[in-house]
Structure 1
Amino acid sequence: MNETVAAAAHQVESVVELAQDLIRQPSRGGVDDYSPVLGTLEAWLTRRSLPHRRLHDGDGRLVGLLVEIAGGRPGPWWTLDACVDTADFGDDRSWSFPPTVADVHEGWLRGRGAADSKLAASAFCHIAAEVHERAHELAGGLAVLLDVDEHTGGFGGALAYLADPDTSIPAGVMIGYPGMDEVVVGGRGLWRATISVHAPSGHSGSSRTIVGAVSRAAALVQLLDAAQLPQAPATGARFPLPPKLSVTSFHGGQGFSVVPQRCDINIDVRTTPDFDSADAENLVRKTVAEFDAEVPGPQPTDIKVVASWPPFQLGADEQPAAALMSAAHRLGTPVRPKTAGPSNIGNLLALHGIPATAGFGLPYEGLHGIDERADLSELPRVYAIYHQAVLDLLDAP
């Protein structure tokens, strides 16, 4: 075993113990109180004298913790980021073990958050503790962001971090999403809108024919599904994924006797450098205008844009991707760069001009599903790779 990986193996027991403590504290996004899981982290950080503080959003809600370790020489700051809120349990009766069991079974750490991303949060805290011991030798600084508003889609912790006037804006961020074969260096962007379709209202038993909002909206959905988007890029293209349009929600009416006068649909468009948010909005508005012209309603169809994030992609030679991939190769783990289909917090960071990797971690199963678990056999190697990448970025002697 590589000496660096062997050294990391001595941290494994402590990393797993803290991760277990975090998994035992339910922290489902938008459901649970986050104070217990953050309190567990605060107690661990305090025992090790690591400088940290709470982050709050504009409404005063607790949205994360921030660890900051300044080096002894000038240089850029870098950030490790992991969420400690989680997906919901779903139907916990479908699990073969309790979602907060936090045990190790046949080499797997089990429970909600084991993969996404409490184990990464624990590992990053331990790396911060090691960096803190030799901070005087290092250039720049290391921050560890522990977000509890990620699975809601609000990313309140990241937004509070970037808005904090006392924060050193990082030169790059490494996000601890799981998956060991690839370093995620990019992702499609998104453009999201709610479309409100209108129609006359009336009684469903009326002698006159009434085309209600639900029927009009159904016709619009067919047009949106048939909209022409650019096709998949050629093999070897720098950005390897095509854009994608999906209707994701459809709400209108109540009961049986009233033909509704409004129906709302949600639309999600995944964007690329060659088909960006402006292209997505133009396509949707053009489709809606043609629909209103062909099937007029009592008022024009409304479009309310609710989110827009750019796509992002780093080259393998750009930081922090270069440091992470170099450390992986040097420590015997060949990885390849990947551009992901789903959007992630890397898109939010790209909106602020901050480059990010959005995934390298342990093998896993059950992410956002039932029986979530993470394979601990590779923990020494993954830990060592992140630790080495951080030291390289901090210009360790």
Structure 2
Amino acid sequence: MAIDPRDPASILAALIQCPSVTPEDAGALDLVQSILEDRSFEVTRLPFQTEGQPRIDNLYATVGTNGPHLLFAGHTDVVPVGDAGAWSFPPFDAKVHDGVMFGRGAVDMKGGIAAFIAAYARCVERNGALPGRVSFLITGDEEGPALDGTLKVLEWLTEQKVRFDACLVGEPTNPNAIGDMIKVGRRGSHTGKLTVRGTQGHVAYPHLADSPIRALVPMLSALMDPPLDKGSNRFQPSNLEITTIDVGNPATNVIPGEATAVFNIRFNDCWNAERLVAEIESRLAGAAAAAARIGDDPLPWNLEWAPRVSDVFVTHDEKLVGTFALAVEAVTGRTPELSTSGGTSDARFIKDHCPVVEFGLVGQTMHKIDEQVPLADLKTLTLIYERFIAGWFGLETGR
């Protein structure tokens, strides 16, 4: 059955029916390509593969030439369904029940993609060719390790000398209702792995051993207390969470020789990566010295940082943020909160290329059993996107 490019529900249903559990594509990008090519987009498929990782397919589509360049970014990969038998309807059937569509990816974020495609088609139908350029960057690697998706496509686009003036990411940003929140920034994220080495031995002869746990515990405590900061004007306080501790020791009568812990920091604009790393390493060194036995040197320890840090950012572009906020208010009657809360997204890569904001569906069911979207919400999101596109290109937005 033909898909109406102006109807977000029909586009979303077709996308959900592609079981694109990351890193599988399952025909989702083929579907997007077909719809966009029918709207005169020039489509390029960009597969990338990091050694030891699965091959990831990505899509870049563009239409128009001169004038301002607006980018929409999103992903067609979805998380696993979990217990499929616990769903009210099969997770890839796109069943509509009482005005609600059920399916994995309904809100995160195939719904956002469907709404923007439909919004673009409607805007062009109403106004004719736009006075500028619209592009799509759709990846299959957002829910995965994000090694071969948006980041690699942006590198390719830089090599092609493609530039953007603004970007909208269609992630589900609204906590309770469409119009609640626009994400205008994100905290940074950095992960470290701490290893402390002691001397293995029998628990009955502690003088012949040296437990790394005795050092690890106060070192981890020093990371969390005192707090890194109290927050800033645009961000909540930075937060460090220990995500795993491991000594690899199944025996109850053995003092282990090594202990490790992994932690993640979500940091605000009180820090940059360099100063944050220096602070963490200073705290660890002080705690390790304090934990040493009297007369002994501190136990040897090593801190291995993740190879890539996600930097904190805030978007200040008045045209992008202001135009989008006005579109939200015009359609919903709500004044959206300009927020920097939550985790990370591919916006962390895009912000190095152009101003970026995020706005999409209500995220309450993302990654859950029975992920779902009311069709009324999908319609509202499409109207907001359509009004934003028109406003950003300086076209008539009245309805």
Q: Which TM-score band applies after superposition, normalised by the shorter structure?
A: 0.7 to 0.9
What one-letter code is carried by the residue in structure 2 that aligns with 1:140? Answer: G
Structure 1: 5+ residue stretches without partners: 1-9
Deviation, 1:386, is 0.8
Contact 1:244 1:269 in 2 (8 A): yes
- With over 3 angstroms needed to count, the CA separation of the structure-2 counterparts of 1:131 and 1:141, relative to structure 1, is farther
CA distance in 1 between partners of 2:380 and 2:208 (Å):
68
Is it true that 1:255 corresponds to 2:246 in the alignment?
Answer: no
CA distance in 1 between partners of 2:18 and 2:218 (Å):
46
Is it true that 1:23 corresponds to 2:16 in the alignment?
Answer: yes
Deviation, 1:209, is 5.5
CA distance in 2 between partners of 1:22 and 1:107 (Å):
18
Q: Which of these residues, 155, 171, 184, is aligned with residue 177 of structure 1? A: 171
- With over 3 angstroms needed to count, the CA separation of the structure-2 counterparts of 1:127 and 1:324, relative to structure 1, is same
Deviations 1:279-301 (A, max 9, x none): 32122101111122123455233
Q: Which of these residues, 266, 272, 294, is aligned with residue 268 of structure 2? A: 272
- With over 3 angstroms needed to count, the CA separation of the structure-2 counterparts of 1:16 and 1:265, relative to structure 1, is same
Is it true that 1:44 corresponds to 2:43 in the alignment?
Answer: no
Contact 1:331 1:381 in 2 (8 A): yes
SS at match of 2:141: coil
Q: Which of these residues, 79, 84, 100, is aligned with residue 76 of structure 2? A: 84
Bigger CA drift: 383-392 or 252-261? 252-261
- With over 3 angstroms needed to count, the CA separation of the structure-2 counterparts of 1:383 and 1:285, relative to structure 1, is same
TM-score in terms of structure 1 length: 0.84
Deviation, 1:91, is 3.7
Contact 1:183 1:358 in 2 (8 A): yes
Deviation, 1:368, is 1.7
Deviation, 1:312, is 1.8
SS at match of 1:319: helix
- With over 3 angstroms needed to count, the CA separation of the structure-2 counterparts of 1:35 and 1:248, relative to structure 1, is same
CA distance in 2 between partners of 1:195 and 1:104 (Å):
49
Deviation, 1:155, is 5.8
SS at match of 1:308: coil
Is it true that 1:150 corresponds to 2:142 in the alignment?
Answer: yes
Is it true that 1:340 corresponds to 2:341 in the alignment?
Answer: yes
CA distance in 1 between partners of 2:140 and 2:28 (Å):
9
Contact 2:48 2:149 in 1 (8 A): yes
Deviation, 1:96, is 3.4
1:4 counterpart residue number: none
Q: Which of these residues, 101, 109, 121, is aligned with residue 113 of structure 2? A: 121
Deviations 1:217-244 (A, max 9, x none): 33322222223321244xxx3x141211
- With over 3 angstroms needed to count, the CA separation of the structure-2 counterparts of 1:134 and 1:380, relative to structure 1, is closer
- With over 3 angstroms needed to count, the CA separation of the structure-2 counterparts of 1:298 and 1:273, relative to structure 1, is closer
Deviations 1:247-305 (A, max 9, x none): 12223314326544333322211122223323321221011111221234552333324
Q: Which of these residues, 94, 106, 110, is aligned with residue 102 of structure 2? A: 110
Bigger CA drift: 187-196 or 207-216? 207-216
CA distance in 2 between partners of 1:305 and 1:132 (Å):
44
1:3 counterpart residue number: none
Deviation, 1:90, is 3.1
CA distance in 1 between partners of 2:142 and 2:212 (Å):
34
SS at match of 1:28: coil
TM-score in terms of structure 2 length: 0.83
Instruction: Quote the sequence identity (%).
Output: 22
Bigger CA drift: 384-393 or 217-226? 217-226
Q: Which of these residues, 277, 283, 287, is aligned with residue 281 of structure 1? A: 277
Q: CA RMSD in A?
A: 2.8
SS at match of 1:191: strand
CA distance in 1 between partners of 2:206 and 2:212 (Å):
18
SS at match of 2:300: coil
SS at match of 1:223: helix
CA distance in 1 between partners of 2:223 and 2:20 (Å):
37
CA distance in 1 between partners of 2:194 and 2:127 (Å):
52
SS at match of 1:139: coil
1:299 counterpart residue number: 300
CA distance in 2 between partners of 1:63 and 1:199 (Å):
46
What one-letter code is carried by the residue in structure 1 that aligns with 2:335? Answer: V
CA distance in 2 between partners of 1:221 and 1:323 (Å):
45
CA distance in 1 between partners of 2:105 and 2:13 (Å):
10
- With over 3 angstroms needed to count, the CA separation of the structure-2 counterparts of 1:136 and 1:95, relative to structure 1, is closer
CA distance in 1 between partners of 2:213 and 2:22 (Å):
32
Deviation, 1:364, is 4.6
Q: How does 1:359-370 map to 2 (within 5 A)?
A: 359=359, 361-370=360-369
CA distance in 1 between partners of 2:10 and 2:307 (Å):
40
Is it true that 1:246 corresponds to 2:238 in the alignment?
Answer: no
1:54 counterpart residue number: 45
What one-letter code is carried by the residue in structure 2 that aligns with 1:284? Answer: I
CA distance in 1 between partners of 2:321 and 2:80 (Å):
31
- Higher strand proportion (structure 1 or 2): 1
Contact 2:241 2:263 in 1 (8 A): yes
What one-letter code is carried by the residue in structure 2 that aligns with 1:101? Answer: D
CA distance in 1 between partners of 2:362 and 2:301 (Å):
50
Bigger CA drift: 198-207 or 304-313? 198-207
CA distance in 2 between partners of 1:284 and 1:55 (Å):
39
Contact 1:100 1:112 in 2 (8 A): yes
Contact 2:18 2:26 in 1 (8 A): no
Is it true that 1:371 corresponds to 2:366 in the alignment?
Answer: no
- With over 3 angstroms needed to count, the CA separation of the structure-2 counterparts of 1:207 and 1:201, relative to structure 1, is closer
Bigger CA drift: 79-88 or 44-53? 44-53
